Amino acid sequence: MKRIAFLGLLLAAGAASMAAQAPAAPKVIDIVKLKDTLYVLTSSTPGDAATFSGGNVAVFITDAGVTLVDDKLAGWGQAVLDKVKSVTAKPITRIINTHTHGDHTGNNNFFGANVEIVAQENTKTNMEKMDAFKGENAKFLPGKTYKDKMSLGSGKDKIDLYYFGAGHTSGDTFVVFPALRVLHTGDMFAWKDGPLCDRNNGGSCVAFPRTLQKVVEQIKDVDTVIPGHSPMMKPSDVREYQHFTDELLLYAMDSMKAGKSVDDATAAFNVVDRYPGYKKERVKGAIQAVYDELKK
C-alpha cells in the first residue's frame, strides 16, 4: 500500500511538472445569450491560472455600437473580440469598467483609445495607481466618470450606472439595462462566499452590506443578474447575499468583541450552513477585513 501511495505521489509530481512546462492553453471564452441584444462572456474560476480569463463581461449591442461591461484580464482581448464578432458585426464603441481590478480592466488598451471608457470617479483614481495605466497608457483610463448616478444612451439602448458606496473597492458601479431588466453587479456580488474587500483600493467589509442594501432598495424592475464571477443569478440571490454579508459583519464584530482570533472566528463560522450553495473559502479574508477596519 505504502509503495502504491508513493508511486501515486511520483505520478502526481510528474503531472504537475508537465503541466508547468506545457504550452499555454488556447484562450477560449464561453458566451451565453441572455437577450437578442445582450450576451455574457462568462467567467471561469479565479485561482485557476490556466483558464481564468477574468470576470463576467456583458456585451450589449446598441444602434451606435457595442458596449462592454468590463473587459477581462490582459492577454484575453483577442478572445473577447472574437466572441463579440461571433454575435454582431458592430464595432465596440464603449467600455464600462465596474471597478479597478485587472481582471475587469485588463484590455482597455487592447480595444484602443478611440473607445469611450466609463467608470465611477473613485475607480478612475484607483486605476491611476496601476502600472497598466501609467505614462503612455494613461490614455486608456476612463475618459468619462460620474459620482452617484449616470445614464448613457436612451430608449432600448439606455444604460443606467449607479454608485452606492464602498464595498469591494471604493468605486464599484452597478450597471442596469432597463429595457432588458438586467443588472450587472461587478464584484459587489461575485460569488456565494465571503466578499473580497480590497482595502488598498478603498474597499470595506463594514460598509459592504449597507451598500448592497441600497441596491436592493433602489434597483427594482430587474429579472436577471450578471454577477462578477458566477453563473447568472436572480434579484432574490442579491437580497440573500445582502443578508449573508450583513450576518457575516455582525458575526465578525461579535467575535472581535469576544476577543476571538480571526482563525477561531472563521473555524466557528456556521452562518454559511443556513445559506444553501454557499462556500466558506473566502470567509476568513472577509472576517480579517472587518477586524482590520475596526481595530484602533
Residues that bind Zn ion (CB under 5 A): 101, 187
The smaller minimum CB distance to Zn ion, of residues 187 and 193, is found at 187
Nearest approach, Cβ of 126 to Zn ion (angstroms)?
11
Nearest approach, Cβ of 149 to Zn ion (angstroms)?
21
Question: On the CB side of 140, how many CA atoms lie within 13 Å of its CA?
Answer: 21
Nearest approach, Cβ of 212 to Zn ion (angstroms)?
15
- Closest-by-Cβ residue to Zn ion is 101
The smaller minimum CB distance to Zn ion, of residues 187 and 251, is found at 187
Nearest approach, Cβ of 98 to Zn ion (angstroms)?
8
Nearest approach, Cβ of 185 to Zn ion (angstroms)?
11
255-263: long-range pairs with CB below 8 Å, 24+? 255/287, 256/290, 256/291, 256/294, 256/295, 262/287, 262/288, 262/291
To which residue does cell 450597471 refer?
175
The smaller minimum CB distance to Zn ion, of residues 260 and 282, is found at 282
Helix (H, G, I), strand (E, B) or coil at 1: coil
The smaller minimum CB distance to Zn ion, of residues 37 and 201, is found at 201
Question: On the CB side of 34, how many CA atoms lie within 13 Å of its CA?
Answer: 27
CA distance 240 to 246: 10
The smaller minimum CB distance to Zn ion, of residues 94 and 168, is found at 168
Query: Closest by alpha carbon to 151, among 160, 138, 139, 142?
Result: 160
